[in-house]
Amino acid sequence: MIAPAKPDLVTVNIDGQEIAVPKGTNVIEAARLVNVDVPHYCYHPKLSVVGNCRMCLIEMGMPAVDPATKAPIMDPATGKQKINWIPRPQIGCGTNVSPGLHVKTTSPMVKDAREGVMEFLLINHPLDCPICDQAGECKLQEQATGYGRGYSRFVEQKNVKPKRTQLGPRVTLDDERCILCSRCIRFSKEIAKDDVLGFVDRGSYSTLTCYPGKKLENNYSLNTVDICPVGALTSTDFRFKMRVWFLKQTNAIDTESSVGANTVVWSREGTIYRITPRRNDEVNDTWLADSARVLYKVVKAADRLAATETIEALVARAAALFKSAPGAIAVVGSGRSTLEEHFLTRHLANALKASAQLVSRVGQGDKLLISADRNPNVRGALVTGLIKTLPTQQLTDLAAQIDAGKIKVVVAINEDLSAAGLTAAQLAKVAIVYLGAHANATSAAAKVVFPTLTVFEKSGTLVNQQFRIQKTLKAVPAAAGATDDLVVLSLLVAAAGGATLPAELASLWKVIAAEVPALATMSFANLPETGLVLDATPFAALPFVEGETLHYKPAQPAVAAATA
Amino acid sequence: MNLKPETLSKIDEVITHYPTKRSATLPLLHLIQEDVGHLPPDTSEWVAAKLELQPINVLEVITFYPMFRQKPIGRRHIKVCRTLSCALLGGYKTCATFEKEFHTHLGEVSPDGEVTVDFVECLASCGTAPVVMIDDELHEKVDCAKAKQLSDQIKAEAKKR
């Protein structure tokens, strides 16, 4: 995957446009660079090339040379070198560029070939677009419109195949819609390393099947639904829920681990319907774990907190608690908070003269898109200076200080203190100010509870394991009775006697850029879609827990990997 | 899988013929079918384990080729040619005769377990149509009378057993 520093460039001519592309590029990718669309089904940039759909047929030719002398043969009519066109179409996906390659994607032969392929693909394809989930984002639909003949000559009976096979707990297969591109088979084999899918039977009876007795149940099974060019593989969760063209797309980040996979959140009228991956070749390619796709369910969870008092009343009560115990306050932040929240939390801790700490969450990494560190933004806390060392899983120090009576007030931000090892007795001994979206033992024991937002209801940035700072945007409006974490934090900073800090991202980023040298040149608005990699050298000595994942190699042998 | 020791030794030998183990899939399936008579349900897993593949890879091959049988057949396999020359010279009647003689239908095991009749594509002996293959033996110019005679012969041999 590591590109050579200076790739050898090859000049090719696509529909009359000259372009220099790296050696090894295929015709589909080269054409994409000159904005020429070569329609395809089976080809996927992140999977092996099989060339079985034949949709990407193109006409190609090479400059003519004299066989004996190798001297170029000139065309007297144009004065340019003659092109020897191959009299048969070639597949674009399986043809790598070579110097001087000429490609035609709009010639009559190519048009004929595409119409022929489309006609064969549609022979046994059912006409159930009106009830098909893929409608609106279906390659077959788009390319039938773009490159098909427009009417059917087929008068025979269509094949009947299984209509609703459960391939696994999350994927439902409609075999009649399948065009046998084999993307899902290659994905399962090459990326998910769970080779359970295959084609059985022969000819027009070919059927995609999971091996009898096995299931497509790996944590990446829903990627097969994403890459299916037609509506054959559908998500059991999303099936028949919503037409895709009604949905609003919001770019976000997967918060289940420090990989920070890029996602698109699809919502309508304040309700999220699904989460799909967004291509980022440096982070997640085009993949996303299944577990990341159900995270949106926290937005409408039954245990969401809602305010019963005004925010001013809550802040006043928190301020009274802060005044009651000067010097005996602890702040527990969360590795799930955004970088902006970490920044304000640091200000809050400074204003309260309190120590700040996070709670670490460590799980088993899957070597693909889930890392061992299940907090998405521990590095954001390091960058903003909220913490200096890596968090621990248990708050034993804090527990000891509470027992010793040194801590009287704890500000807990989105962290359940009992899950982090504090006993009910210890929780009862202190006054807790809790900021969080969902009810838990800490919110139940807290004196003041600020209901805040889930990651889908707010914008911000997260710093992933590569120290890549990435934007996640607000997909749906805040739940009733919940306040943006940034608003709550800036009010608390002011109540604790700190500076007046803006809660709005654009203005807050001016303060962040001024105070955090690593982020000095950035603003929220101009952060690129694929993120920016920050300098990790100040933190090189820290023993991060992540093992190897896609596009990430730990700098030093990881602790979790060694003990696993 | 309950294979004969000589089949097992043939299998181990044939794997060495190929640069990659995967290439031995077809020969292995042929050997198992020769031994057992058909490919039992656990074939995919057994071959996959032997060749370091996934079972689905083997199942794809088994289901692709019509001559791999996933169900048991009769003691003898009667293959009647259905292609042009044989069809013109009465292959359909020949086939119907065998079906009638053994009270069976195409592709099924006859009630006495003696035969399975199949109507197959060209057996490459068009000059002597209609032709029939019984196991590995080719019978030429099999009209209804000869079909009856062959059937009687099989039944007689069955009685002796």
B11 CB within 8 Å of a chain A CB: no
Chain-centre distance for alpha carbon A61: 40
- Which residues in chain B have their CB less than 8 angstroms from residue A212's CB? 59
Q: Is A417 exposed, middle or buried (0-12, 13-18, 19+ CB in 10 A)?
A: buried
Is A1's pLDDT higher than 50?
Answer: no
Can you tell me the distance from the alpha carbon of A469 to that of A461, in angstroms, rounded to the nearest whole number? 6
Separation of alpha carbons A559 and A550, rounded Å: 18
Residue A362 contacts residue A546 (beta carbons within 8 Å):
no
What's the confidence (pLDDT) of residue A10?
Answer: 93
Nearest to B64 among A196, A202, A214 (CB): A202
* Chain B residues near residue A197 by CB distance under 8 angstroms: 56
Give the best residue of A200, A204, A218 to mutate against chain B (max B CB count within 10 A): A200
Distance from CA of B4 to the nearest CA of A (A): 27
Residues of A with Cβ-Cβ distance to B63 under 8 angstroms: 200-202
CATH fold for domain B5-64: Arc Repressor Mutant, subunit A (1.10.10)
Taking alpha carbons only, the member of A420, A359, A417, A358 closest to residue A386 is: A358
Write the DSSP assignment of B41-107 as a string of letters: TTHHHHHHHHHT--HHHHHHHHHH-TTS-SS---SEEEEEE-SHHHHHTTHHHHHHHHHHHTT--TT
Of A195, A201, A202, the CB nearest to B56: A195
Q: Which chain A residues touch B65 with a CB distance below 8 Å?
A: 202
Structure-token pair, residue A153: 């000559």
- Res. A130: pLDDT tops 90: yes
| Contact status, residue A143 vs residue A117, Cβ threshold 8 Å | no
The dihedral through the CA atoms of B1, B5, B6, B9 has a sign that is: positive
Report domain A311-563's class: alpha beta
Q: Which of residues 117-156 of B touch A (CB under 8 A)?
A: none
Structure tokens at A223: 């990627």
Virtual CA dihedral for A309, A311, A315, A318, nearest 10 degrees? 40
Q: How far apart are CA A474 and CA A251, in angstroms?
A: 8
Separation between Cα atoms, residue A18 and residue A239, nearest integer Å: 44
Q: What is the pLDDT of residue A4?
A: 54
Chain B contact for A190 (CB, 8 A cutoff): no
Residues 6 or more apart in contact with residue A187 via CB below 8 angstroms: A44, A47, A220, A223, A224, A227
Q: Looking at A419-486, which runs of residues are DSSP E strands?
A: 431-436, 448-451, 460-463, 468-472
A138: tokens are 């279906």
Instruction: Identify the bridge partners of residue A260 per DSSP, sorted by sequence position.
Output: none
pLDDT score of A556: 62
Where do the domains of chain B lie? 5-64, 76-160
Cα–Cα dist A377/A469, whole Å: 9
The average pLDDT across B71-81 equals 94
Q: pLDDT of A27-69, one tens digit each?
A: 999 999 999 999 999 999 999 999 999 999 999 999 999 999 9
Q: Rounded distance, CA A555 to CA A563, Å?
A: 17
Interface test mutation site (partner A, options B54, B57, B65, B67, max chain A beta carbons within 10 A) = B54
pLDDT for residue A283 is more than 70? yes
Superfamily of domain B76-160: Glutaredoxin (3.40.30.10)
Bond into B130 cis (ω within 30): yes
Phi-psi region for residue B129, left (φ > 0), alpha (ψ -120 to 50) or beta? beta
Type and span of the H or E element at A261: none
Q: Nearest chain B Cα to A211, which residue?
A: B56
Q: Are B125 and B131 in contact (CB under 8 A)?
A: yes
- Decide if the complex's ipTM is over 0.95: no
Per residue in A178-219, pLDDT tens?
999 999 999 999 999 999 999 999 888 999 999 999 999 999
- Residue-wise over A505-538: b if at least 16 C-beta within 10 A, else e? beebbebbbeebebbeebebeebeebbbebebee
Q: Which of B44, B56, B66 sits opposite A197 (nearest CB)?
A: B56
Span A476-535, pLDDT tens digits: 999 999 999 999 999 999 999 999 999 999 999 999 999 999 999 999 999 999 999 999
CB–CB of A237/A274 below 8 Å? yes
C-alpha distances (whole Å) from B27 to each of A122, B69, B73 are 36, 15, 20
**Tokens linked to A95:** 């043809």
Q: Which two tokens stand for residue A481?
A: 């009775």
Angle between the N-to-C axes of helices A505-515 and A339-352, in degrees from 0 to 180, rounded to the nearest 10? 60
Contact A201 B54 (CB under 8 A): no
For an interface test with A, the pick among B60, B61, B64 (most A C-beta atoms closer than 10 Å) comes out as B60
Residue A262 confidence (pLDDT) above 80 = yes
pLDDT tens figures, B32-44: 999 999 999 999 9
Question: What is the rounded distance in angstroms from the CA atom of residue B14 to the CA atom of residue B95?
Answer: 37
Q: Rounded distance, CA A361 to CA A420, Å?
A: 9
Question: A438 forms bridges with which residues in the sheet?
Answer: A304
Residue A247: per-residue pLDDT: 97
A202 touches B at CB < 8 Å: yes
A9-116 with A311-563: one CATH topology? no
* Portion 211-240 of A in contact with B at CB < 8 A: 211-212, 214
User: Within 13 Å of residue A371, how many CA atoms lie on the same side as its CB?
Assistant: 32
Contacts of A216 in chain B (CB under 8 A): none
Q: What is the CATH topology of the domain spanning A9-116?
A: Ubiquitin-like (UB roll) (3.10.20)
Kindly report the number of other CB atoms within 10 A of residue A131's CB atom: 9
Nearest-angstrom CA–CA distance, A563 and A127:
54
Helix axes B25-36 and B43-51, enclosed angle (nearest 10)? 140
Cβ pairs A/B, distance under 8 A: 33
Of A15, A551, A3, residue with least CA distance to A283: A551
Q: What is the CATH number of domain A129-139+150-242?
A: 3.30.70.20
What span, in angstroms and rounded, lies between the C-alpha atoms of A513 and B95? 88
Digit-coded pLDDT (tens) for A82-119: 999 999 999 999 999 999 999 999 999 999 999 999 99
Which of A199, A210, A214 lies closest to B60 in CB terms?
A199
User: Which residue among B59, B65, B66 sits closest to A198, beta carbon to beta carbon?
Assistant: B59
Round to whole Å and give the CA distance between A176 and A127. 10
Which residues 6+ apart lie within 8 Å of A308 measured at CB?
A481
DSSP state letter for A438: B
Nearest Cβ partner for B60 among A198, A212, A214 = A198
So what's the pLDDT on residue A77? 87
Are A464 and A259 in contact, with CB atoms under 8 Å apart?
A: yes
Task: Check if A455 contacts B (Cβ < 8 Å).
Answer: no
- Give me the residue spans of the domains in chain A: 9-116, 129-139+150-242, 311-563
pLDDT digits (tens, 9 = 90+) for A343-391: 999 999 999 999 899 999 999 999 999 999 999 999 999 999 999 999 9
pLDDT at A79: 85
Q: Calculate how close chain B gets to A160, using CA atoms only, in Å.
A: 18
pTM of the model: 0.91
User: In B, which residues are within 8 Å of A200 by CB distance?
Assistant: 59-60, 63-64
List, in sequence order, every residue forming a beta bridge with A253; answer none if it has no partner.
A262
